[in-house]
């Protein structure tokens, strides 16, 4: 599941003003919204959730949205937005909460420390891991491919029509937090980053590679339900150390392990909405998220049906969130 790394690197330098009605990934727009939570007498009112483009986050939003609607009487509005754009909605109340933040120290400094339009509500309980992965068949037959030091030896095997004579390193959605272009350059690898365009396309590429013994190496992450279907093998990159990714252009180390956290708008935090306490108390595991994500992605359940199934199977966890 980032512009330092999932610090998320949204590749547009000019993502600017909310009033410009920037188009979101699923058609929603920032600037296209009703007011945030009702601040009067603790009633929930409208609860505006940002939904970022990967199914794990969709699972978070499905469950929190379901509980907010059915237990707290909220009117839940979900906006499909790229990671960075959601932060822009905090100041106006167009976005109340981001449920799964991967790092983004630059955005925290901007919106929490300087602008004071957002606050962190603590960890989700999920551990986020980003890296380079290969299908199990490659790792089994060519075990030295699991170290970056040997990748140039196999670059020609990973070559595609899109990689310009180099090996292809497949990334997902261009908005995802990634250091991969810098890593390829700084580790002197004969590879080119090519974007699959979406999480679904990335998953299908790995699935096809394992089933048909194709050469694919690419960006992937945990928590992720697909790893239970195809146990991708993580490639060893130079160990991450504090500050090794401070300059995005000079990154030559692995991604850190992320303690995923929740970010809400300052106005939402002061609103008296019961949804604020729900988000604050929300905590679950990678397995919990993967279960709901699998319902949505693999079993083709609607997000609401997937959330209902999980909520009914986990009443104790939901009760803890509701206090």
The residue with greater pLDDT, 16 or 261, is 261
Gap between the Cα atoms of 13 and 69, Å rounded: 36
**pLDDT tens digits, one per residue of 177-193:** 899 999 999 999 999 99
CA 272 to chain centre: 28
pLDDT at 197: 94
What's the whole-number mean pLDDT along residues 165-178? 93
Gap between the Cα atoms of 90 and 119, Å rounded: 10
pLDDT at 22: 34
Gap between the Cα atoms of 158 and 152, Å rounded: 10
The first and second tokens of residue 253, run together, are: 């180390």
Cβ neighbours of residue 1 under 8 Å, at least 6 residues apart? 54, 56, 57, 102, 128, 130, 176, 177, 199, 221, 224
Question: Three-state SS for 127?
Answer: strand
**Lowest mean pLDDT across 54-68, 76-90, 192-206, 241-255:** 76-90
pLDDT at 50: 95
**Lowest mean pLDDT across 10-14, 117-121, 160-164:** 10-14
Gap between the Cα atoms of 235 and 218, Å rounded: 10
Residue-level length of the chain? 323
**Lowest mean pLDDT across 21-30, 93-102, 254-263:** 21-30
Q: Provide the pLDDT confidence category of residue 42 given band limits of 50, 70 and 90.
A: low
Domain boundaries, the chain: 18-127+260-322, 129-250
> Is the model's pLDDT at 7 over the cut of 70?
no
pLDDT at 1: 55
pLDDT at 313: 98
- CA atoms within a 13 Å half-sphere pointing along the CA-CB vector of 212: 9
* Same fold? 18-127+260-322, 129-250: yes
Q: What is the pTM of this model?
A: 0.80
Q: Which CATH number fits domain 129-250: 2.40.50.100, 3.40.50.2000, 3.40.190.100, 3.30.70.270?
A: 3.40.190.100
CATH fold label, 18-127+260-322 = D-Maltodextrin-Binding Protein; domain 2 (3.40.190)
Q: Provide the pLDDT confidence category of residue 10 given band limits of 50, 70 and 90.
A: very low
CB-count burial class (<10 Å; 0-12, 13-18, 19+) for 188? exposed
Mean per-residue pLDDT of the chain: 88
What's the whole-number mean pLDDT along residues 247-254? 95
What's the whole-number mean pLDDT along residues 286-294? 95
């Amino acid at each position: 599941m980032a512009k330092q790394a999932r610090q998320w690197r949204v590749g547009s330098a000019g993502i600017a003003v909310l009033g410009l009605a920037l188009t979101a990934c699923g058609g929603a727009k920032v600037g296209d919204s009703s007011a945030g939570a009702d601040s009067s007498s603790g009633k929930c009112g409208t609860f505006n959730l940002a939904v970022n483009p990967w199914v794990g986050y969709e699972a978070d939003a499905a469950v929190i949205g379901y509980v907010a609607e059915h237990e707290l009487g909220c009117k839940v509005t979900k906006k499909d937005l790229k990671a960075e754009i959601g932060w822009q909605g905090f100041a106006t109340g167009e976005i109340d909460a981001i449920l799964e933040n991967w790092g983004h120290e630059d955005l925290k400094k901007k919106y929490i420390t300087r602008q004071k339009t957002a606050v962190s509500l603590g960890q989700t309980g999920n551990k986020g891991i980003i890296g380079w992965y290969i299908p199990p068949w490659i790792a089994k037959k060519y075990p030295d491919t699991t170290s970056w030091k040997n990748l140039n030896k196999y670059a020609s095997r990973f070559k595609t029509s899109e990689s310009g004579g180099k090996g292809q390193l497949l990334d997902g959605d261009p908005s995802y937090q990634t250091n991969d272009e810098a890593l390829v350059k700084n580790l002197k690898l004969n590879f080119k980053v090519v974007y699959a365009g979406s999480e679904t396309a990335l998953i299908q590429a790995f699935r096809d590679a394992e089933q048909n013994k194709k050469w694919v190496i690419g960006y992937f992450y945990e928590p992720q339900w697909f790893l239970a279907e195809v146990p991708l093998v993580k490639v060893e990159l130079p160990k991450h150390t504090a500050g090794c990714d401070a300059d995005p252009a000079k990154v030559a180390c692995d991604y850190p392990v992320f303690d995923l956290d929740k970010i809400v708008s300052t106005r939402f935090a002061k609103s008296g909405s019961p949804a604020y306490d729900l988000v604050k108390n929300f905590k679950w595991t990678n397995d919990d998220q993967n279960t709901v994500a699998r319902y949505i992605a693999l079993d083709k359940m609607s997000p609401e049906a997937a959330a209902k199934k999980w909520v009914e199977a986990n009443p104790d966890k939901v009760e803890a969130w509701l206090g």
